[in-house]
Amino acid sequence: MDPEIDFGAILREFDTVLMGRWTFEGMTGGGSAPMSGMQTFVFSRTLCQSYHPT
């Protein structure tokens, strides 16, 4: 991690996050959306939407 980069400030510029299944499950433990206040789209061929209803 570069201490000069303010990741919090960068993330506040976005309202949507796209990620794959493994990133999603790693960030949430399989629970709800990983980034509060951000619309999250998970792309997966194996993850069932019924496991994570909107």
Is residue 1 a part of any domain in this protein? no
Asked if residue 46 lies in contact with residue 21, where contact means CB atoms within 8 angstroms, the answer is yes
Range of the domain at 37: 7-51
Is residue 18 a part of any domain in this protein? yes
* 13 class by beta-carbon count within 10 Å (0-12 exposed, 13-18 middle, 19+ buried): exposed
Is residue 17 a part of any domain in this protein? yes
Tokens 């499950």 label which residue?
25
Is residue 2 a part of any domain in this protein? no
Q: What is the pTM of this model?
A: 0.63
Number of domains in the chain: 1
Residue 45's pLDDT band, with cuts at 50, 70 and 90, is confident
**Two tokens at 51?**
């496991």
Residues 27-38 pLDDT 10s: 877 566 567 788
Distance of alpha carbon 22 from alpha carbon 27, whole angstroms: 9
Distance of alpha carbon 45 from alpha carbon 54, whole angstroms: 18
